[in-house]
Structure 1
Amino acid sequence: MKSFKADYVYPVCADPIKNGIVTVDDFGKIISVIDPNLLPETFNAPVEQVSGIICPGFVNTHCHVELSHLKGKIDRRTGLVNFIIDIQKSRGADHARVLEAAEQADLEMHENGIVAVGDISNTNSTIPVKANSKLYYHSFIETFGFLPDRATEVFNNALSLLNEFKPQPCSITPHAPYSVSKELFRLIQKHCDNGHNLISIHNQECEDENKFYRYKLGSFNELYARFGIDISYFKPQARNSLQSILPLLTTRQDILLVHNTCTNLKDIYFLKRFDQKVHFCFCPNANLYIEGVLPKIELFIGQGYDITLGTDSLASNNKLCILSEMRTIQEKFPSITTKQLIEWGTLNGAKYLGIDDEKGTIEPGKTPGLNLITGLDGQKITPETKVKKLA
């Protein structure tokens, strides 16, 4: 067993403990969490003194490990439509190179204190990486199909890929409002009604997504034309994309809305009229990479929905590090506290993935992983703040 004493321990399930002591066994199971001020006598066991905050391992709820070979190959701030085009042009690569990059990405996340990942998959390339990883993975088998007559074919292909991933945790999910037809949404909804099937969908990543749904205007028309997709059947909805597709989403499964760059208060209030079990995920560094714009994160706080954090892929980020996402949020939104960010990056993600019985909080009996956050200004994250995996 090892015991660590830090300036603060953030159990997440309770208030931060000043000079807290955490004891963990050789398998990472938490034995005890102690507030020395409440001990009747001095803690006499050997203890390693560390400077900084001890918190649970991070949960990355949105990643694309299979795109890791595209690091540095996609231009910055060209907008979402150009980003999609560049991804499609560049993603093809030798299988060995894709696998090697995915393995490196997996190791990078482990070293950056990430213990669990919600990962988007379009191919079977990452199955062996996940099977041998120290991290927990839930793979989202992503569907693309904006043409109604292809819905059944696309869904059946997703089912086949899902069966390749099993018995690893996995589910079928729609990619985004602009890439999934109503017919395909309904097939996924029916699938969700018949068993456990987490949903993770890209949501409102740019203003043109809303413009397309409201008026059938903007750059998405050019995207469909480029890929030879006839969208003459599509009728604008006179409302934002989230409001348009929400009735097509399951009410029986947890739903992660990812990015939310252009989600507004009207969208959030619209959500409250429905019964969906919604969580929001923010990937700020990817938003800055692709669009140069951040979501209005403060709008989402106190609305009754859990917030989680993701890294997106190395095609749209320099690193796969939840602390780096926290740093960007605190820099741009200084009223958001480190305590809030740690909850978003640990417990909330674990709850969404359904692994909060093991991860997300520092409690006896759990194996959440332990991270040490150093280089703080008081308890504020700074450019010098780093994370080190303790257990």
Structure 2
Amino acid sequence: MGSNDTLSQDLYATTMAVKFSLRARWVLTMDGPPIERGIVTIADQCIESVGPQNSCADDLQDLGNVVLMPGLVNTHTHLEFSDQQIPLGKPGMQMADWIRQVIAARNRRRRDSAAAIKRGLQESLAAGVTTLGEIATAAARDYPINGLPQLIAFQEVIGFSSARQASVLADLTNRLLNCPADRMVGISPHAPYTVHPQLLSQLVEQAVVKQLPVAMHLAESRDELQLLASNDGPLRDLLQQRSMWDAESLAHSTRPLDYLKILARAPRVLVVHGNYLEPDEIRFLAEQKDHMAVVYCPRTHDFFGHTRYPLPEMLAAGVRVALGTDSRASNPDLGLLGEMRFLFKNFPELDSTQILSLGTLAGAAALGVAHDVGSITPGKIANLTAVACHADVANPAKAVLQSEQSPGSTWLRGKLVELSSN
């Protein structure tokens, strides 16, 4: 039995009527004001209507005191590390040293990543996540699709030496051809210290031709900035140790902005992390917000002890910002609500609804799927999640962020998802 069949046994959707309605204490649509005692009607896997309580709802199911909201959108994951019980290394460690730990962990793992990916998908569903932006390093067969979150699989590409460009591009072409026809895919040039600038340009050209989104780690650490600016530092040492350093691969005085200008040619771009973007780079992203977004991974950022993330400044400038968990190699779990609750505690100047939008509608827009998911809007797919609340709650968005409750129920395409105990 293949992994798809096995996972579809473990993660199954409870069959419901073709048309039914859910009533909740509050409904957060994310495209309008909260609806008290709201009702969402679902038909043929999609949202048919949403509004205040009425007596004519079809097959009405009362959820009680919950906040019903869109399924969460995690725009950046590495599910291959979902079997990590605790993050690799220790908080505050240097990026180059942490990468060594990542390489060692990969070497210890069996070639088959299916078990870790399955675990990550289960954990994501349990946390109310219904859409994922995944950096895919495993074979397509290791990513089951039945009864699972919508997955945009960005195929990771590494090639720092100019001599490897042809073989790297051939490998990518083969991986894209082997992806299931119903799987959304993208391209992920890993980072400036692992992808030659010429290769990056070629990958962006492929993305334009195939109309695929691109995701790249950029401005993630001070080590990276040092390598770009002066071609030295801990990351150069790491590359030399692994026989990957190519002195011709980087010009001196390179900046993340140089990479942003190349990436901007792609149809859609996720700039992952962006921890150390300068004001002019933030302005550039704001100018390109129609197709470029930054993915902030709050608890991973905190794990490395980076300087304060310029989130308020990015939002004020008009940058499209989405949220990701990154992986269990740098995060204790894959719960996107945990990321939003971290923001609630550490950025009190942000509005609660704005924070929730980063993990729903803004994330969907960043991935290019906002026409289908990210809000409770008639015509969109019925991906929903519910978080328990008190009966007397007056601010449902704030209540979700103040709570420590995990989502109690999640619906995928209008079907209630249940996790087996296996």
TM normalised by structure 1 equals 0.89
- Please identify, of 101-110 and 126-135, the stretch whose mean Cα deviation from structure 2 is larger: 126-135
1:194 is the counterpart of 2:209: yes
Show CA shifts across 1:49-99 (max 9, x none): 532421100111111112223342611222221111111111132245x32
Long gaps (5+) in structure 1: 37-41
Q: Which of 370, 379, 388 is the equivalent residue of 2:408?
A: 388
1:21/1:127 Cα in 2 relative to 1: closer, same or farther (>3 Å)? same
1:305 is the counterpart of 2:323: no
Show CA shifts across 1:308-364 (max 9, x none): 111111222121111011011111111222211222111222223332232111122
Q: Which of 10, 14, 17 is the equivalent residue of 2:35?
A: 17
What is the CA RMSD across the aligned residues, in angstroms? 2.4
Q: Which of 215, 229, 232 is the equivalent residue of 1:217?
A: 232
1:327 is the counterpart of 2:341: yes
2:130 alignment partner in structure 1: 115
1:364 is the counterpart of 2:384: no
Asked whether the equivalents of residues 81 and 223 of structure 1 are also in contact (C-alpha less than 8 Å), the reply is: yes
2:271 alignment partner in structure 1: 257
1:86 is the counterpart of 2:101: yes
Aligned length: 382
Asked whether the equivalents of residues 192 and 250 of structure 1 are also in contact (C-alpha less than 8 Å), the reply is: no
Show CA shifts across 1:282-333 (max 9, x none): 1111222244555221111032332111111122212111101101111111
- Identical positions, percent: 24
1:235/1:186 Cα in 2 relative to 1: closer, same or farther (>3 Å)? closer
- Describe how 1:129-140 pairs up with structure 2 within 5 A: 129-140=143-154
1:189/1:389 Cα in 2 relative to 1: closer, same or farther (>3 Å)? same
1:39 alignment partner in structure 2: none
Q: Which of 231, 235, 257 is the equivalent residue of 1:243?
A: 257
3-state SS of paired residue (1:179)? coil
3-state SS of paired residue (1:288)? helix
Asked whether the equivalents of residues 59 and 360 of structure 1 are also in contact (C-alpha less than 8 Å), the reply is: yes
Amino acid at match of 1:382: Q
- Please identify, of 372-381 and 112-121, the stretch whose mean Cα deviation from structure 2 is larger: 372-381
3-state SS of paired residue (1:360)? coil
Asked whether the equivalents of residues 161 and 249 of structure 2 are also in contact (C-alpha less than 8 Å), the reply is: no
1:133/1:313 Cα in 2 relative to 1: closer, same or farther (>3 Å)? farther
- Describe how 1:1-391 pairs up with structure 2 within 5 A: 1-25=19-43, 28-36=45-53, 43=55, 45=57, 46-72=60-86, 74-77=88-91, 78-92=93-107, 93-95=109-111, 98-124=113-139, 127-167=141-181, 168-240=183-255, 242-271=256-285, 277-291=291-305, 293-374=307-388, 378=395, 379-380=397-398, 381-382=401-402, 384-391=404-411
Asked whether the equivalents of residues 201 and 256 of structure 1 are also in contact (C-alpha less than 8 Å), the reply is: yes
Long gaps (5+) in structure 2: 1-18, 412-422
TM normalised by structure 2 equals 0.83
3-state SS of paired residue (1:387)? coil
3-state SS of paired residue (1:301)? helix
Asked whether the equivalents of residues 121 and 142 of structure 1 are also in contact (C-alpha less than 8 Å), the reply is: yes
List structure 1 segments (4+ residues) > 6 angstroms apart after TM superposition.
Answer: 273-276
